[in-house]
Amino acid sequence: MGKNLYEGKYVDESPLESYNPNESFENISICTPFYNSRKFLNTYLHHVTLLDYPRDKLSFYFTVQGDDDTIDTLKLFQKGFSDEYRRIKIKKVKSLRGGELPHVRNVVMCRNMLIQWSKPDTVLFIDHDNFPPPFTILRLRETAYLGGDISGGIYEFYQKDMKDPDGPGRIGYTCFFIDKETGEYYHSCLDRKGLFGGMAEEVLGNRVYCDGVSMGTTLIQRKVFKDTRFTIPWGTDQTDDTTFCLDAATKGYKSVADFGCLVKHWGFDRKYLGKENGMAWFEYSIDDDMRYRRIDLNAKGIYVVE
């Protein structure tokens, strides 16, 4: 797909010339659903404490599922930092098991719980396995100022190729588009199989309007939640993230993918290979721990690998 994904979709950034990020700092709630997060929890906590934003304007709302010691570590974080941040709230939530899409049903339940719990703040969803750079909030606030009701940082993901389920799978970035003629979904970088991904060289560092972003590191304006909540996907090629964005779009809300906010995703390492024919190419490695985690969740009836 290459450049065609982004053509005509770049966000006009000229309004930033008159933007003053220090004019007012709104209250922002970082909302994270956790499930057995021991392997990467300390890295998550390290990164969120480095976020460049006034701490008296930041709150944390955590839901916790699973049977490891995640909640104990979060309570230590709460005890150690409660005087520095506006609020730190933790809620233990019973996991839904079995049935169809158990993983998605748990995520949908927890995200909607966090939305309600954090009222009336702006929401920054950060998944427990996302490690955002320090400038994330400032950058995504700019993106929101430019028109992003749903402003997403970008990170890698891995998915099986349903047309070749026994193959090596595909790597992509969490920004997707719909082909208006065919109705097919395209994620950035999914134009090459295996542990390689290419994106249009010109998109790096820029912002683009898109049909949806993942919720791994995403700033959402509170107005969106007046008439939009997370639901079980109504398409087999969708997730709760994409369904949320598509639903929001029908109500006039815009999703923007920010390729200037590249977020580290646990289990993935990227190596820049260079440029070729207007494309920037990357090679990826996937940590075995990430694979084993999915196998464990599948065995517990929490995550079903398609």
Compute how many other C-beta atoms are within 10 angstroms of the C-beta atom of residue 191: 18
Indicate the burial class of 13 (C-beta count within 10 angstroms; 0-12, 13-18, 19 or more). Answer: middle
DSSP state of 86: S
pLDDT at res. 101: 76
Which whole number is the average pLDDT over 248-274? 93
**Who has greater pLDDT, 149 or 200?**
149
Instruction: Give the pLDDT of residue 34.
Output: 97
Q: Residue 116 pLDDT > 90, yes or no? A: yes
User: Could you tell me the sign of the dihedral formed by the alpha carbons of 276, 277, 280, 283, in that order?
Assistant: negative
> Which residue type does 293 have?
R
- Paired tokens of 101: 């899409």
> Strands 170-173 and 264-265, how do they pair?
unpaired
Residues 224-251: what's their mean pLDDT?
Answer: 88
Task: Say if residues 286 and 267 touch (Cβ distance below 8 Å).
Answer: yes
Provide the pLDDT confidence category of residue 135 given band limits of 50, 70 and 90. Answer: very high
Lowest pLDDT segment from 25-39, 48-62, 289-303: 289-303
Q: Which H helix or E strand runs over 79?
A: helix 70-81
For the ranges 84-93, 167-176, 255-264, which has the lowest average pLDDT?
167-176
pLDDT at position 299: 60
**Structural domain boundaries in the chain:** 2-299
- The single-letter code of the amino acid at 219 is L
Under the banding of pLDDT at 50, 70 and 90, the label for residue 45 is: very high
- Decide which of 3.30.479.30, 3.10.20.600, 3.90.550.10, 3.10.580.10 is the CATH code for 2-299: 3.90.550.10
Give the model's pLDDT for residue 192: 58
Mean of all residue pLDDT scores within the chain: 87
Residue 277 confidence (pLDDT) above 50? yes
CA distance linking residue 258 with residue 78, whole number of Å: 30
What are the φ and ψ backbone dihedral angles of 34, each rounded to 5 degrees?
-105, 145
Please report, as a single letter, which amino acid is at residue 270. Answer: R
User: CA-CA distance, 270 to 285, in Å (whole number)?
Assistant: 7
**Interatomic CA distance for residues 181 and 290, integer angstroms:** 36
pLDDT at 171: 75
- Residue 305 has a pLDDT of 39
Three-state secondary-structure class, residue 64: strand
**pTM metric for this prediction:** 0.90
